[in-house]
Every structure is written in C-alpha cells, then in structure tokens.
Structure 1
Amino acid sequence: SAQTAVGKGGDSQPQPLCPPVLPPSALQNKWVFLATFAAVLGNFSFGYALVYTSPVIPALERSLDPNLSLTKTQASWFGSVFTLGAAAGGLSAMVLNDLLGRKLSIMFSAVPSVAGYALMAGARAFWMLLLGRTLTGFAGGLTAACIPVYLSEIAPPGVRGTLGATPQLMAVFGSLSLYALGLLLPWRWLAVAGEGPVVLMILLLSFMPNSPRFLLSRGRDAEALQALAWLRGGQADIRWEFQQIQDNVQRQSSRMSWAEARDPHMYRPITIAVLMRFLQQLTGITPVLVYLQPIFTRTAVLLPPQDDAAIVGAVRLFAVMIAALTMDRAGRKVLLFVSASIMFAANVTLGLYIHFGPKPVAPNNTVGLESVPLGGTEQPLATPTSFLTLVPLLATMLFITGYAMGWGPITWLLMSEILPLRARGVASGLCVLVSWLTAFALTKSFLLVVNAFGLQVPFFFFAAICLLNLVFTGCCVPETKGRSLEQIESFFRTGRRSFLQ
C-alpha cells in the first residue's frame, strides 16, 4: 500500500509512505553540521575521560607521594568508578532530558565535567581522584544519553546515519587524543587539558537552537519553526517536515503513563534499545579498553604496550569513519551483522592464542592482571623477536574495528531513532543506565574471572555474546535507513513492515 493512516486525535488522514525529497540545501545546510559539532564535543570529553586512567595509573603507582601512590585495589577502583558515575549520569538524564531539553542537558554536563577535571588536576589525596573520576563519569553518562537524541531530532533523514555516527567518532578521537597527550604531558596537566573541549562546547552550544521536537512539545511553536528553518537553511521548504513533527508531537502531548508503557508500540522499541545497549557492553568493549595495556603486556606483544594502545586507538578512529560514511548507504542491519561477525572471529582468535600461545617471560606489574594464569609451564616463552606475538595486537585491532563499524555507533543511533517521542528522554537515560551498570559489573568481574580461570575465558564468553548479537539483529532490529522519526514510530505503532522496507 502506498499510503498509511496516521491519526491525529481520532481522525486519520492519508500520508505518503516516503517523505518528499528535500531540496539539496536542506541536506547541505552547514548550520546543522555546526550544531552537530557543538554537541559532539561532549562525546570528545567522554572518550577522553574514559581512558584517562590508561597512562595515569602507571604514573600514580610509581608516585613518591604516599597520599597518591595507588595500591592495586585503589587503582582498580580508580579505573572502574567512572562507569558508576556514568550510570548515575544516565539516571539523571531520564529526568533532565525532558525537563531542561536536550541542548540544555548537554550544556549542564559541563558543570560536573569541569569540577571533576579540576579535582583530579589538583588532587592531594585519593578521595579527590575518585570523586573527580566519578564526576567526569557522571558528565559522560549524561551526554551519552542526551547527545544522540538531540542529533536525531535535528538531522534530516538523509544524513541522520552519518551524523548519528559522529558521537562515537568524537569519543574515539577523544580517547586517541588522550593517548597522544599522555606521551607528552604529566598526569595533572592531562586533566587540565580535558577542560578545553568542555569550555568550547559551552560556547558553541549557547548559539545553537534547541531541538524543534522538544520546543513543540513545550508549546513553543514559533521558536520551533524558527529553529527548523535555521537548521535546514533559508532556501529549504520545511512546511511538510514541520507539519509531520507537529502532528506527532500533538498526538503525544502528554507524558507516558505506566499503563501505556505496557502497550507494544511503547515497550517494543524501548526493550530493543535497552537490550542493544546491554548486549553491546557484553561484547567486552569496556574491559578491553580499560585493561588494554595490561592485556598486551600479559600476552607478550612484540611492540611496547603503550604503542599498541595508540595503534588500536588509531584503528578504532578509522573504523568509525568507515561506519559514518557507509551507514546511510549500506543500512544499519548489514553493518550490525558484519560487526558482530568480525568481533566473534577476533575474540575466538584471542582466546585460542592466550590458551595455546606463548606466555610472557616475566610477570607484569600493571594493575590487576599481575596474577593472570596463562596456562601450564609447558607453553613456550615469548621472546621480543617472535612475530607470533603480533597475533594479540592484530586480533585486538580486528575486534576494535568490528565494534567501531557497527555495534559501537549504531546502538547509539538506533536508540535515538526507534524510541517513541513521549518516552525518548526517559528511555534514553534508562539505556545509558543499563549500559554503564553492565560495564561496571564487567570491568570489576573481569579481573576476578581472569585470576580464577585464565585470561582466555572472558574472550570465549565475549565470542558467545557476538553469536547471540547476530541472532538478535536478525530477529529484533528494524532497518531505519532513510526513514523519518515519524515513519519509524508509525512502524512500531502499526506493526506494518512495509514502513521500513
């Protein structure tokens, strides 16, 4: 059927399956890209803060200051408490996203971020480091929930996939910047450097418009029309798009009730989004990134571990760029299938190498992995000239590439695309909360499992999760390429697959 009935109130009116093609200026207007850049600076800070401990923990373990010299337990908490802060940030986003709006919520994240970096830069005791790390995690969790929603609501459908990949791209770029600066700056100055992107984000966002959908939901119609016109460019005909947004907002003018939460068109997309965030973390990305240098040290990689970490960061950046360029061409589901398959192969390779391959000549003194059993004494010792020891580096690069091509950026994008408007603020916060609680549980239990059963066991578990992700993608994930947010919502409301084919 070429038409579908989308009701406004109790009436129904014909609506074309696909929106009319917007004039080129609507897709090429530079202002929507500027607004995107301003917002995703928050993701740059998130990526920077996430891996801040990578060069800092070794430096603090060697510190001559007794108040800052970390024990193994303290270092473990310093590394993982970020995820608890991020979970709290996701929880707060469930309220702030709809209370302040998407843009103001992103701007608000600068407060805990600046305070956290200041605490770590001037730390005189361990509690200051922990609190600073928690506050930067809180800011990261808040931006992780708000930025994808803001981008999905300001982007034209034709470039929403590309713009939706930019948060992950900027987070990777932030991590890579931290690795690079870590070779040049002392740990306190690394925290000072983290303030820069936050200040720039505040300055730029103060000139950007709010989401037209949020403005309409608050009855600020004239301001919403003005914002949409600014985002699409002066020459674009925005009447059709504005009417579609207005109809959808009016149909969902009140907040979602608990009774409505049991309606399939509400709980289905929310469940899919939450499960995607849960499964994304179960692939093992957070513990792999947090313990990247120790893992490389324990697997006796040919190159220095800090160089390996920088190489993996560069590969991750390249892979996310590939995803950003192909997402609106290949589609979301194809990239999710490819991503899970690559991660499965990489995890199996790592697990088999660790189980059967060489072990390091001397135990590692890096946080948490110093007692990792890698097998019996019959394993050959690795030597610095053995090219076999490049296998963990290549497998990790493959794992990061697979993640960054699909399950990294697309889970964030789909979260912002499929969530119903009335539940978008609360549900996106719920997704981030689930994601970071899972990340914390994995990061803390990773060391326990490794020390009890061996480093190969987590990688075999992650491989099994990747197989589950393939099944989940095939059975549950809709293709949203090229569809407006209103069409996607209609798909879940009516259950007619023709909306998304």
Structure 2
Amino acid sequence: MKTDPHDDPRDPGALQQPDRPAPPCPPGLRGVVLSAGQLQAERCSCPEKRELGRQEAQQEQQAQRNMQQVFQGAQQKGAAMGKEQQGLMGPGPAPTKHEVRPLVADPLREKDPARKKFSPLVRQVLAAAGPVMATISSGMTTGYSAVLLPQLEHPNSTIPISYGQASWIASMAPLPMALGCLLSGLLLDRLGRRRSQLVICVPFTIGWVLLAVARDLPAILGGRFLTGLCVGLVGPPSLIYIGETAEPAYRGLLLAAISLAVAVGILVAHVLGTVLHWRLTAWLCATAPLACIAFLCPSPESPVWLASKGKLAEASRAFRWLRGFDEAASLELQGLLAKHGAAAFPEGAKAPGPPPPTVSSEVAALPLWRQLLHRSFLRPFIIIATFFFLMQFSGVNAVAFYTVSIMKDVGGGLDEYVATIILDVVRVLMSCAACVLLRRVGRRPLAVLSSAATGVSLMGLAARLAFGDPASHAWMPVSLLVTYITAVSVGLVPLPWVMAGEVFPGNLRGLSGGATSALNFLFFFAVVKSGPSLFATFSPPGAFAFAVYGSVALLGSVFLLLFLPETKNKTLQDIEDEMAGARRPRADGRDKAGLPVP
C-alpha cells in the first residue's frame, strides 16, 4: 500500500491510494477547489487540490468555532452582568486565553416566570396597551368638543355661550398641546418613557374631572386647557415607548395602533355625548388615563433608555421580557449593549474585537449643536414636520372638531348625530385597515396614495358644494365625505406618528419627537381656530375650506413621493444609519457606485 507523498498519515482526512494508478481528475472538476469530503468521494489524485480542499475545510471549521465562541461569550457575559448586579453570584473564574466555555442555559431565561405563559408578541402588545389607552383619552379630548358645543349652545343650557366663545372652547385643547410636547421632551430623557406616561396620566384624569364638575365658562376652559396639555405631554412618550419596545416586524402595526386609538377615542366621545349629558361623558372619559396606569405598572421601561443611562443589566432584563430569547433578539440586544459600552464577550475569550463604528455612532459623539445641524437630525426633522403639516392642513381635525356642524350643512337631511357616528365608525375601520396595510405595504407608497386620494375626494366635495344642486343627489356629499375619511385614515393620519417613532437618532429621539409633535399641535391649533371662518366665509358653506384642504393634500402627495424614506422591516439602527448618510448596499454588498460597503 502506497501513500501519496502529500498526505499526512496522522490526518484522518488523508487519502491513501492503492498500488494501482489513481484515476484522473474528472473533467468537470478541473480548476475547482474542492473540500476534503468531496475529494474523497471523487478519489481525485491531484495532491495540490487535496491540500487546498483540506485547508478550506479547516477554515470552515475554524469559522464555525469562532461563531460559536462569539454567541457563547455574549450569552455568558450578559448572564454574569445580571447576576453580579443582583448580588446573586460572584464574577466567577475568568476563562483561559484559548478556553471556550460550554453553552449553558441563560439564567434570565430560566427565571422568567411569564416565559411559558406569554409569547414575546403578547408581551409587546401588553406593553403597548398603556400608551394606547392614554391615546384613546387624547382622541376623546379631540371629539369631546363636537358634542359639548351643541349642548352648550342649546337654549336650555345652564352655561350659555356665544359663537366666539364656542371657537375658544374648541381651540383651547389644541392651544397648549405644543407646549406639552416640548415639556414632554424634557421628561422623556429624565424620567424615562414609561415613568413619564405614569406621571402624565394623573393631571390627565384631573382635567376630565374638572370638566365634569364645571359650573361656568372659565372652569370649562380650564378643563379643556389641562386635557389639551396632557394630550401634548403623552404623545411623544407613547410613540417612542412603542417604537423602542416593539420588534421591527410588528413595530409599524403597534405604532399604527396610536392612530386607531385616536379614532376610537373620537368615536367613544361622540357616542357617549350623543346619548348622555356632557358632564357624565367627561366622568366616563376620565377612566381612560386610569386604564393606562393599570397597563403600564407591570410593563418594563424602554431597554434603549435604560442602556443610554448605563443601566445595562436592567436593559437586558427588560429587552428579554419584551423580545424573548431567539437569535434575532439576541443579536439586537448584543448590538444595543455594545453601542452603549458593554463588553459583549467574556474576558480572555477570543472575540472578533469591538464592533466597527457606524455613521450614527460617530455623529452621536459630536457636540449637541453639531448633531442638531447634521443631516441625521435635520433630514428626518424636515420630513416629519412637513408630514404633520400635510396631515393637519388636509383638514382631518377640523372635520373631527366640527363634524356635527359640517353634517348640518352637507348632510342632505340626514340626522347630523347619526351621520357623525357613521363617519366615526368609518374612521375606526380604516384605522384598523391601516394597521394591516402597514404590515404588508411600505410606508412610502401608502402615504403617497393616501394623500392623493384625500386631495381628489376633497376637491370633488368642494366642487359638489359649489356647483351642485343641493336638492338633487343629497347622498353625494356624504359619500364624498366618507371617501375622504377613508383615504385620510389609512395613510395621512397614522404614518406621521409611525415614522416619528422610527426615523430620529436614538440620543435625540426625545428632543426631536417632542419638537415635531409640538409643531404638529401648532398646526392643529391653527386649523381648528381657522376652521369656522373657512367654512362660513364663502357661500356655499364648506366649499372653500374643502378646496383649500384638497389642494394641500394633492401637493403633499408630490412631496411624499420625492422625499419620504422607506422604513418597513428595518431596525432602528439601520434607519438611523441611513438618515445619517450611510451608504446602502445592493444585493451584492456594494453601494450604488459599485464600491464595497463595510
């Protein structure tokens, strides 16, 4: 028996050849580097290729060992950090230089009592339920004036009001919303996302109680001011908390639930106000902030905020509670901890080194004033601020605030309260549809189509009111109004809120979320305050107002088509890097210029 001079007899993969000549290398394999297993199967006699194949196999095995070591190190380090801070164990002996510890069960996983009861998705939904309940209260604040004003204007009202006082009651709620958003930006970074909402729900409840017991106009204005202030306060933490606790696959759906909650709140306020006195309606609306507190108490703080404050063990526990222990969640947690300075590998382990710096991490190291002037902040700020402008000046909240009065003019004899409930039901159903569409359709195409359809329906409604015969086809204005509510509810209403929780850099998310929300509510106030004048100035009533709102929506569809980024199914870190100017690789790993992207 002869052995090939290139084979090592100690190598179990070495191929020993018989005395007879070895068969030639098959033609289809010439010029191809094969693995050791493939060479043995083919009985190839090319010693150089056998050696290359053996080296390739060894490299693959080494790569697998390195990858296993990386995951073991990250898991052991995270478990050790949690136990050390809890005082449950000492740091333990450090591994030797080349030691690889065996894979052990994660103590956080074993000690999680809810792991077998609730899936990560269920826990994310439970965590989002608190912000959703607070947002339902915000929707009630928006819809409350539509039922409050007709009752106060009734001849038998105990608090009679004039036309000018009615506009102030309606606009008093959106007036302090911008201030609330700015104050909320400060609370977010100091108290955290969850605790901020718990604190805000207390004055929110007090505002509703003040409305319920009001005996004169100043008390009503005070209650409206306080509830409006809390709407502004609770908006940014609700968005950011859901955005930072939901996984990418469900983040759009859960953020769209914010707009659904607003629609539900408006519907509930209108239904209650239609059948109940406005005082009893206010008492019932006060239960929504209390429900928010009940849902938030068992939920954890945002892992992103905890990590930014150096509370890495708490961040790890909160992240695991929300996201579970699958591979994708583990990799995202590892990146989160590494971004904020946690060593992801045990001391002495053979790690691949610190993570390479990203564009967003380099921007975050700049002074604050330079971060505010960098494109990573300015680009999303301008886009989201313009998006909020388009949403408000498409008339969505003007219609919500003055629905009953509008239906008196365009309802064609239909009872205005019944028509209002119909529009509210359509708004809720379309908000539910938006939650589904955001899981299946990208943000950008949905926004463009929604804005264009909104503009077309509004222009059609304006033309019908201006040139149509009110006595004929009385159903047409109501149908166009339903079409408008449908179009605006599936895109223009939810998407600015969804993307405001996604596109801003993590270290500026509280500040930027508060600033854009403040601008939104300034636009809100301007639209609601100018609404009665726009609807009444020109005859027939409503034609000019709907034409203005429709023109804004049509122009907005062009802006969204040109400048709105796509964020569907992207992690927050990927979105942050893209906003900061990172090159986006193609499928072959190269950018648009053909250069490799690291």
Retained in 1: the 8 A contact 2:135–2:262? yes
Q: 1:31 aligns with which of 123, 136, 154?
A: 123
Aligned to 2:427: 316
Deviations 1:350-407 (A, max 9, x none): 1001101245xxxxxxxxxxxxxxxxxxxxxx3xxx5x11122111111111111011
Retained in 1: the 8 A contact 2:376–2:504? no
Aligned to 1:265: 376
Deviations 1:231-277 (A, max 9, x none): 01356663211122234445477796122211112211122122211
- In 2, the alpha carbon distance for the partners of 1:181 and 1:156 equals 36
Q: CA deviation at 1:105?
A: 1.6
Q: Percent sequence identity over matched residues?
A: 29
Cα–Cα, structure 1 residues 436 and 164, in superposed 2: closer, same or farther, change >3 Å?
A: same
Q: 2:399 aligns with which of 288, 299, 309?
A: 288
Retained in 2: the 8 A contact 1:27–1:156? no
Retained in 1: the 8 A contact 2:461–2:477? yes
Q: 1:174 aligns with which of 265, 281, 284?
A: 265
Q: How many residues align?
A: 451
Name stretches of at least 5 consecutive residues in structure 1 with no aligned partner.
1-24, 360-381
Q: CA deviation at 1:341?
A: 1.7
Cα–Cα, structure 1 residues 482 and 499, in superposed 2: closer, same or farther, change >3 Å?
A: farther
Counterparts of residues 214-233 of structure 1 (less than 5 Å): 214-233=305-324
- In 1, the alpha carbon distance for the partners of 2:176 and 2:320 equals 37
Q: 1:355 aligns with which of 460, 463, 466?
A: 466
Cα–Cα, structure 1 residues 496 and 470, in superposed 2: closer, same or farther, change >3 Å?
A: farther
Retained in 2: the 8 A contact 1:158–1:482? yes
Aligned to 2:92: none
Q: 2:451 aligns with which of 317, 323, 340?
A: 340
Amino acid at match of 2:144: Y
Deviations 1:52-79 (A, max 9, x none): 111111111126465x111111111111
Q: 1:135 aligns with which of 215, 226, 230?
A: 226
Cα–Cα, structure 1 residues 166 and 224, in superposed 2: closer, same or farther, change >3 Å?
A: same
Q: 1:188 aligns with which of 273, 279, 282?
A: 279
Q: CA deviation at 1:419?
A: 0.8
Aligned to 2:93: none
Retained in 1: the 8 A contact 2:241–2:302? yes
- In 2, the alpha carbon distance for the partners of 1:151 and 1:448 equals 38
Cα–Cα, structure 1 residues 294 and 224, in superposed 2: closer, same or farther, change >3 Å?
A: same
Aligned to 2:574: 487
Q: CA deviation at 1:91?
A: 1.7
Q: Bigger CA drift: 29-38 or 489-498?
A: 489-498
Aligned to 2:439: 328
Counterparts of residues 302-313 of structure 1 (less than 5 Å): 302-313=413-424
Cα–Cα, structure 1 residues 411 and 27, in superposed 2: closer, same or farther, change >3 Å?
A: farther
Q: 1:60 aligns with which of 132, 136, 152?
A: 152
Amino acid at match of 2:430: A
Q: CA deviation at 1:335?
A: 0.8
Aligned to 1:417: 502
Retained in 1: the 8 A contact 2:194–2:302? yes
Cα–Cα, structure 1 residues 232 and 352, in superposed 2: closer, same or farther, change >3 Å?
A: same
- In 2, the alpha carbon distance for the partners of 1:332 and 1:174 equals 24
Aligned to 1:73: 164
Matched, 1:151 2:236: no
Q: CA deviation at 1:41?
A: 0.5
Greater helix fraction, Structure 1 or Structure 2: 1
Retained in 2: the 8 A contact 1:256–1:422? no
- In 2, the alpha carbon distance for the partners of 1:114 and 1:152 equals 25
Amino acid at match of 2:279: R
Name stretches of at least 5 consecutive residues in structure 2 with no aligned partner.
1-115, 342-360, 592-598
Aligned to 1:207: 298
| SS across alignment from 1:62 | coil
Deviations 1:404-457 (A, max 9, x none): 101111110111100111211011111111111111112212222333334211
Amino acid at match of 2:149: I
- In 1, the alpha carbon distance for the partners of 2:127 and 2:366 equals 27
Retained in 2: the 8 A contact 1:255–1:423? no
Q: CA deviation at 1:29?
A: 3.1
Cα–Cα, structure 1 residues 179 and 450, in superposed 2: closer, same or farther, change >3 Å?
A: closer
Retained in 1: the 8 A contact 2:310–2:340? no
Retained in 2: the 8 A contact 1:269–1:420? no
Matched, 1:459 2:570: no
Deviations 1:135-172 (A, max 9, x none): 11111112222111110100000111111111111111
- In 2, the alpha carbon distance for the partners of 1:284 and 1:212 equals 37
Cα–Cα, structure 1 residues 453 and 156, in superposed 2: closer, same or farther, change >3 Å?
A: same
Deviations 1:87-134 (A, max 9, x none): 221121121121211111222221221111111100011011001011
Q: 2:489 aligns with which of 379, 404, 418?
A: 404
What is the TM-score with the length of structure 1 in the denominator? 0.86
Cα–Cα, structure 1 residues 35 and 236, in superposed 2: closer, same or farther, change >3 Å?
A: farther
- In 1, the alpha carbon distance for the partners of 2:533 and 2:456 equals 24
Cα–Cα, structure 1 residues 481 and 237, in superposed 2: closer, same or farther, change >3 Å?
A: closer
- In 2, the alpha carbon distance for the partners of 1:448 and 1:93 equals 32
Instruction: Provide the alpha-carbon RMSD of the alignment.
Output: 2.2
Q: Bigger CA drift: 82-91 or 484-493?
A: 82-91
> Which structure is larger by alpha-carbon Rg, 1 or 2?
2
